[in-house]
Structures are given as C-alpha cells and as structure tokens.
Amino acid sequence: MFVDKAKIKIKAGNGGDGAVSFHREKYVASGGPDGGNGGKGGDVIFVADDNFSSLIDFRYKKKYVAENGQNGGAKRCTGKSAPDLIIKVPRGTVIRDAETGRIMADISTDEPKVLAKGGSGGKGNCNFATSTRQIPKFAKPGFPGEEFEVTLELKLIADIGLVGFPNVGKSTLISVVSAAKPKIANYHFTTLTPVLGVVKISEERSFVMADIPGLIEGASDGVGLGHEFLRHVERCRLIIHVLDVSGIEGRDPIEDFEIINEELKNFSEELSQCPQIVAANKCDMASEEQIERLEKYITDKGLSFYRISAATTEGTKDLINAAAEELEKLPPVKEYKAEPITREELEEKALANSKFEIEVEDGVYYVYAPWLEPVMRTVNMDDYSSLLYFQQVLRRSGIIDKLEEMGINEGDTVNIFGFEFDFVE
C-alpha cells in the first residue's frame, strides 16, 4: 500500500531530576551536599532512509516517545543521558507542525534533523550550597522534553515529472527509458501510485523520472484520484507533458493540454510555471495532419515539441536527450526550508506550559497545574530554604497573584496535589 500522508505525535525525553544527598564518610564531619544533576532526555531525530518508499509504518504506530534522562545520584554523580530516538522516513518527507502548518523540516538530505529536543537534567542540591545556605535540602526537577503533533507528507524527489491524461502512454514511456516496470494496460487508472525510474544517459549522467497518475479534468474538485499525487511533482525541475496525438479515445490533444495545465494551476501557481516539454505520443497511430496541427499549437506557445511512440520507442531517445540538456540549465531539486517559530507562538507555548486552574471547595483552594507536579516531588516541606524556593515558583508562575485576586486570606488552606498548607501573606 502506498501511503504518502500521516499524522503522529512525537515527544522528547524529560530530563532526569537532580538528587538531594549529603556526603557520608567515616572521619569526614559535615560532608555537605553532594546530590548530582539529572541526565538529559533523549531527542527525537528524523533521518532519511532510501529503503523506505512510503509512510505506511506511521499508519499503525502513531506515538513516538524518547526515553527520559536518569535521575542524579549521590557523590555528585550525574544521571545518564537518555539515547536519542531515531525515526527513519522516506527521502523527501516534509514534516509540519499539525497545529500551525509550519514547516519544521524537509528530510531530503543525509543530514539528521532534530525535531524535538530532550529536556535538560535538573540540578542536584550540591549546586545550591552557599555561605548562608550550607545544607540545601532541595534539588531541581528535570525539564520536560518538547512534544509536537506533526504531519508527515511525502513529496518524491524526481528531476522530471510525467503528467497527462490516463492512458496516454506515461507508464509505457517510463518503462522503455528506465528500469521501472509499472503495470501497463489499456484502461484508465492502471497506475494508482507514483512510479519512479532512473533514466541513464551515460555512465556519469542520469536523472530520476516520476510517472504521476490520476490527473484528469476536475481533479481539483476530487474527480478521479483528485490532486492526491500532485504533491510528488512539486519538486520536479521539468515536466514532460504527454499527449495522445492519435485521438483514438475521442479526445482532442489540444483540449487535453489546456485542461491538464489548468489543473496544475489550480493545485499550485508555482507548479504551473515549471518548464515543460511536450511529448506527442502514439505518432505511429496518428495522421500527419493530426501531428502537424498539434505541433503548430504547441510551438506557437514557445514549448519544445517531440514526436514519439513509446510502444515502439520511436523518438524516445531524442526526447530523453533533450530533457537531459534542459535539466543542466535548471536549478537543483527544490528543498523546503524550515520555518522559524514566531514570537507569538513562543509566547503562547510558554503560557501553555504554565497554565493552572484554581477551584474553591469548602474554603479550600485547590490548585491544578500539571507542570508543577515534578517541582513538588523535589521540594522538602520540612526545610525552610526548600519551601522558600517553592514559594518563588508559585509567585513567578502567577499562582499566588491569582489566589490573592480570588480573595484568599491569611490562614486559608491551599491544596496542591494533595499537599495542604496555610496561606501566609
């Protein structure tokens, strides 16, 4: 099954928590704090793998989570950093943020792309010792790893795309000029998935050609296979427009030419401006008058026109040589640039990470803040300096301001994840 779109969730690993520990050794008095830092969480990294040709694996597995970093230990031991999670995708996969549509990466080269960064490890209590706070009984939790819902969209990397109505001979053409062996039959929609073929000109010259199926009138409205596969021609540097000059199916090749170009334009204005070469196929079944009529129409538009018969290979060599020469004049295959996250998105993300809700029941103020839970796990409620740190967290996040806004009075009870304390102004 050919699958070229998928939506998945990715999450980098959380950083390990810092440790609260004190040095214990015979004959060493007042060893002091020696809690180590937590390890870094694993990143989520995407790499191109040429052994994959579709995104079918991502239809069955939707969530990818990297491992968390190890917690810190005693004797200033830093927790082990987690291994990165490597996700292999077909070359040419474009990754977007599912929520905003922002391009995050184009996996077209061999360079690995980090999509979600693992959280940094928390600091152990040895980092908080000062001249006035010599026995800190608290440490910092690890930072959470980044997480995104992303869409994967495969855009095949080909130098030349073959477009045209069904049954005009695109599959036959790619089968005679390359090693590709698509299904060929005398009915519409024989080809149901894009077909790639490497066309070899000489020992050192070759290019990739793609047969794009399903393009007919009304494709932009979902007729036939719709525009489902046109994304695979977006990277192409050159389009070979294949026309059935014989008209044996009762269609006018000139009308076909205009219809297909209109569908290309409806899909993408940029795609409609892509350089084109016209291949008049089935010339062995057409009259000279039919060929000359089409040739005049095409050349009047300033396009190159080639007479071919894919079934007999007549003219195919001249067509391929001309295409190779044209490719040498054109820029390399298009690569999509990652779009930086906007300032507004950054602010929204920061606010989302520190959201909280407060409800009052029977005089008790219940605070709900998921991001606060790892902080709570590292706070020693019996230690003054640790409590002071916890109070600063509540103040910076706006929780205390919200409690005061709701009319809390000194001595009222506040409950956070089951821990209750009296509010003190």
pLDDT at 381: 76
Residues 177 and 92 in one domain: no
**Predicted TM-score of the model (pTM):** 0.72
Residues 394 and 323 in one domain: no
Nearest C-alpha neighbor of 257 from the set 273, 244, 274, 266: 244
Q: Tell me the per-residue pLDDT of 238-276, one tens digit each, with 9 for 90 and over.
A: 999 999 999 888 889 999 999 888 888 887 788 788 899
Residues 194 and 146 in one domain: no
Flag whether 96 is in a domain. Answer: yes
With a CB cutoff of 8 Å and minimum separation 6, the contacts of 158 are: 196, 208, 209, 210, 232, 233, 235, 236, 333
- Type of residue numbered 50: D
Residues 361 and 407 in one domain: yes
Flag whether 339 is in a domain. Answer: no
pLDDT at 425 over 90: no
CB 297 within 8 A of CB 318: no
CB 37 within 8 A of CB 77: no
* Boundary (domain end) residue, out of 132, 155, 178: 155
Residues 194 and 99 in one domain: no
Q: Domain containing 266 — which CATH number? A: 3.40.50.300
* Boundary (domain end) residue, out of 114, 138, 155: 155
Residues 98 and 61 in one domain: yes
Write the DSSP assignment of 78-112 as a string of letters.
PPPPPPPEEEEE-TTEEEEETTT--EEEEE-SSS-
CB 45 within 8 A of CB 112: yes
Q: Tell me the per-residue pLDDT of 310-368, one tens digit each, with 9 for 90 and over.
A: 999 999 999 999 999 999 999 888 888 888 877 566 656 655 667 788 988 878 898 88
**Could you tell me the residue range of the domain that residue 90 belongs to?**
1-155
Q: What percentage of the chain carries pLDDT values higher than 90? A: 43
Residues 51 and 30 in one domain: yes
Please name the residue that has the structure tokens 């040589």.
321
* Boundary (domain end) residue, out of 304, 329, 354: 329
Q: Domain containing 91 — which CATH number? A: 2.70.210.12
Residues 70 and 190 in one domain: no
Flag whether 307 is in a domain. Answer: yes
Tokens of 92: 């040419």
Flag whether 338 is in a domain. Answer: no
Residues in the chain: 425
Distance from C-alpha of 318 to C-alpha of 155, rounded to nearest angstrom: 28
Q: Cα–chain-centroid distance for residue 262?
A: 30
pLDDT at 183: 54
Flag whether 334 is in a domain. Answer: no
Distance from C-alpha of 308 to C-alpha of 314, rounded to nearest angstrom: 5
Flag whether 60 is in a domain. Answer: yes
Q: Tell me the per-residue pLDDT of 127-156, one tens digit each, with 9 for 90 and over.
A: 888 777 788 888 888 888 989 999 999 887
Q: Please give the biggest Cα pair distance in the chain.
A: 107
Residues 370 and 225 in one domain: no
Write the DSSP assignment of 267-303 as a string of letters.
H-HHHHTS-EEEEEE-GGGS-HHHHHHHHHHHHHTT-
Distance from C-alpha of 319 to C-alpha of 323, rounded to nearest angstrom: 6
Number of structural domains, the chain?
3
Q: Tell me the per-residue pLDDT of 171-220, one tens digit each, with 9 for 90 and over.
A: 889 988 887 665 554 544 444 567 778 888 887 788 888 887 756 555 44
| Average predicted confidence (pLDDT) for the chain | 85
Please name the residue that has the structure tokens 């989570």.
65
Flag whether 340 is in a domain. Answer: no
Residues 3 and 148 in one domain: yes
Flag whether 337 is in a domain. Answer: no
Q: Domain containing 365 — which CATH number? A: 3.30.300.350
Residues 150 and 228 in one domain: no
Residues 102 and 194 in one domain: no
Tokens of 190: 């024989």
